[in-house]
Amino acid sequence: MILVYVTCKDLEEAKKISKVLLEKRLAACTNFFPVSSMYWWDKSVKLDSEFALVLKTVKEKFREIEKEIKKVHSYELPCIVSLNVDEASKDFLEYIKKEIKD
């Protein structure tokens, strides 16, 4: 199992990306929440309000997820990273695997 972390411009974009990935059965569930972000862009430090999106999925689906996110994301260079999950409850892992399309 992995978590995929994506930053989005707003709540609507986080919901839109979530819906696409859930409907394609690439993610079993998602969470999104407001975050404040600071980062380098165009040779200066920026401060923005964004929404973080966390997807629960399997490692084998990462490249397909990345491709789908890039189709609908508004950013020129979206943050799309995977985080390996070392431990999780057996029941939750079974749920994740059951909900992801083969």
DSSP per residue over 35-86, as a string? EEEEEEETTEEEEEEEEEEEEEE-GGGHHHHHHHHHHH--SSS--EEEEE-S
Residue 24 has pLDDT above 80, yes or no: yes
What is the total residue count of the chain? 102
**What is the residue type of 54?**
V
62-80 per-position pLDDT tens digit = 999 999 999 999 999 999 9
Specify burial of residue 51 (Cβ count, 10 A radius: 0-12, 13-18, 19+).
buried
Q: What does the angle CA 65 – CA 9 – CA 50 come to, to the nearest 5 degrees?
A: 105
Query: For residues 96 and 102, what is the distance between their CA atoms, to the nearest angstrom?
Result: 12
Q: For residue 40, what pLDDT band results from cuts at 50, 70 and 90?
A: very high
**Per-residue pLDDT band at 42 (split at 50, 70, 90):** very high
Q: Look up residue 43 and give its amino acid.
A: K
* Structural fold of domain 2-99: Alpha-Beta Plaits (3.30.70)
**What is the domain partition of the chain in residue ranges?**
2-99
